[in-house]
């Protein structure tokens, strides 16, 4: 419930941040803002997620404690230095030399954040992930909002505020992790083993993000900056729903990583069912309300993105089912290549279809390519899971009576606890 409540609040803040940037900057400047914060850096920072998963994996399966910090931080430094080259080259080839420095500066702060996120799972303090997501989004909203009040309304001002906030978050993350890790002794992890696993998982994340973002890159290459700004808003609006739909996957990831195969498989299936139960009604509501939501939040200038947004909502519904299965193979079985195979196939499909459709029908072609790619990728992932566990598709996708009863009990328990806390506070004030 903490994770659900926190991520719901984070979704509200993320929407507010997206609305602020979209309305203040407009489509063209919004497109410029996306270049150093997402387009040029996205593929490289995707590899950095390998650091996070490697920290979690070795803490959960190899009993690593504070000893994990040395290889994790060395890996973060190495990944940052190596990633600066392609990021700078991408900005130069895109004829945006101004974006080279801010794009490179995104990298170290992202790498440090990954250490904290991996440590949260590895130490089974899963609330940290929710708190980090909430605090970081709130800080970005405050930082960029203040920058717009006192400085010109330009993409470069927004990017500068983005970098300053992320630098502060990285410093705070290091302090929190070191303070908590001091008493945690455990088994040492060699830098070589850490790097090999981080690179394996990072490559999977790279291909996965290419699957997620291939459409955005094709739009950036084949269309105008204004269309890029509109499509970036559509993507952020649709994928913002993943903040809520990934709750089950996040809170169970430490348990999936440490359970036996049968127990992990059953918990994974339960997570998929819970995710579908949450995501389907949410996506349906926003599908029908998309024109009103876009007009009210982003303004009439963004109404052309509504058809693309509706297609992306269907894609997000499909995509939301894959995270629990990826956790099973990556954290429990130590086989990130399973997720790699499905993501690679989907990325190739997304690139090919986007390249054909975007010049002909614009951003809705990119959204259609994404939806078809997600269907293929998640279908493959589901097939791998069924083959590895022997479970039938109905047991994975169809919510059971026990699921509904468990959710009802969870809600009643949370409401009862909240009522008791409110009563205690009231009694304290009266006393």
Question: Binning pLDDT at 50, 70 and 90, where does residue 127 land?
Answer: confident
| CA 118 to centroid of chain Cα atoms | 13
Residue 45 belongs to domain spanning: 2-422
Question: 9 in a domain, yes or no?
Answer: yes
For the residues 340-349, what does the mean pLDDT come to? 82
The yes-or-no verdict on residue 78 having pLDDT over 80 is yes
* pLDDT score recorded for residue 77: 94
The yes-or-no verdict on residue 32 having pLDDT over 80 is yes
Q: How far, in Å, CA of 77 to CA of 52, rounded? A: 14
Question: 427 in a domain, yes or no?
Answer: no
Q: How far, in Å, CA of 62 to CA of 292, rounded? A: 51
Q: Does residue 181 contact residue 66 with C-beta atoms inside 8 Å?
A: yes
Q: Does residue 77 contact residue 110 with C-beta atoms inside 8 Å?
A: no
Question: 167 in a domain, yes or no?
Answer: yes
Tokens standing for residue 75: 């890996």
Question: 185 in a domain, yes or no?
Answer: yes
Question: Binning pLDDT at 50, 70 and 90, where does residue 34 land?
Answer: confident
Question: 400 in a domain, yes or no?
Answer: yes
Question: 274 in a domain, yes or no?
Answer: yes
Question: Binning pLDDT at 50, 70 and 90, where does residue 76 land?
Answer: very high
For residue 26, give the nearest of 302, 242, 345 by alpha carbon.
302
For the segment 349-406, what is each residue's pLDDT rounded down to a tens digit?
888 898 999 888 888 898 898 888 888 888 888 888 888 888 888 888 887 777 777 7
Question: 431 in a domain, yes or no?
Answer: no
Number of domains the chain contains: 1
DSSP state of 4: H
Question: 430 in a domain, yes or no?
Answer: no
User: pTM of the entire structure?
Assistant: 0.66
Q: Does residue 202 contact residue 46 with C-beta atoms inside 8 Å?
A: yes
Helix (H) or strand (E) holding 130: helix 127-150
Residue 151 φ/ψ region, left for φ over 0, alpha for ψ in the -120 to 50 degree band, beta for the rest: beta
Q: How far, in Å, CA of 322 to CA of 268, rounded? A: 10
Q: 372 Cβ partners below 8 Å, 6+ apart? A: 349, 350, 353
Question: First CA to last CA across the chain, in angstroms?
Answer: 30
């Amino acid at each position: 419930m903490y994770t659900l409540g926190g991520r719901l609040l984070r979704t509200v803040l993320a929407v507010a941040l997206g609305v602020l940037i979209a309305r203040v900057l407009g489509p063209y400047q919004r497109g410029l803002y996306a270049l150093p914060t997402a387009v040029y850096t996205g593929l490289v920072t995707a590899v950095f997620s390998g650091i996070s998963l490697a920290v979690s994996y070795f803490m959960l399966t190899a009993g690593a404690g504070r000893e994990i910090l040395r290889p994790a931080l060395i890996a973060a430094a190495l990944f940052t230095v190596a990633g600066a080259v392609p990021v700078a080259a991408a900005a130069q080839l895109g004829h945006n030399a101004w974006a080279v420095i801010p794009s490179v500066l995104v990298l170290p702060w992202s790498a440090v954040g990954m250490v904290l996120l991996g440590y949260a799972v590895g130490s089974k303090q899963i609330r940290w992930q929710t708190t980090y997501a909430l605090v970081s989004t709130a800080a970005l909203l405050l930082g960029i909002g203040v920058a717009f009040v006192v400085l010109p309304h330009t993409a470069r001002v927004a990017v500068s505020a983005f970098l300053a906030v992320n630098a502060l978050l990285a410093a705070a993350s290091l302090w929190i992790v070191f303070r908590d890790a001091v008493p945690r002794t455990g088994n040492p992890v060699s830098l070589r083993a850490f790097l090999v696993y981080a690179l394996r998982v990072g490559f999977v994340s790279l291909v996965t993000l290419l699957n997620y973002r291939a459409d955005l890159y094709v739009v950036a290459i084949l269309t105008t900056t204004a269309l890029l700004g509109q499509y970036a808003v559509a993507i952020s609006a649709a994928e913002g729903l993943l903040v809520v739909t990934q709750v089950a996957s996040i809170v169970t990831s430490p348990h999936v990583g440490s359970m036996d195969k049968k127990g992990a498989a059953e918990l994974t299936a339960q997570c998929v069912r819970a995710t579908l139960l949450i995501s389907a009604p949410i996506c349906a509501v926003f599908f029908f309300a998309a024109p009103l939501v876009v007009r009210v939040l982003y303004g009439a200038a963004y109404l052309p993105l509504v058809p693309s947004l509706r297609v992306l909502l269907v894609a997000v519904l499909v995509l939301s089912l894959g995270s629990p299965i990826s956790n099973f193979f990556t954290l429990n079985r130590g086989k990130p290549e399973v997720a790699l195979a499905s993501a690679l196939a989907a990325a190739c499909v997304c690139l090919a279809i986007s390249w054909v459709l975007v010049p002909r029908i614009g951003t809705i072609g990119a959204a259609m390519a994404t939806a078809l790619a997600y269907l293929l990728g998640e279908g493959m992932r589901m097939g791998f899971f069924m083959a590895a566990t022997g479970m039938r598709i109905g047991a994975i996708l169809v919510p059971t009576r026990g699921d509904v009863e468990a959710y009802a009990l969870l809600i009643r328990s949370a409401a009862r606890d909240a009522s008791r806390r409110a009563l205690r506070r009231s009694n304290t004030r009266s006393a």
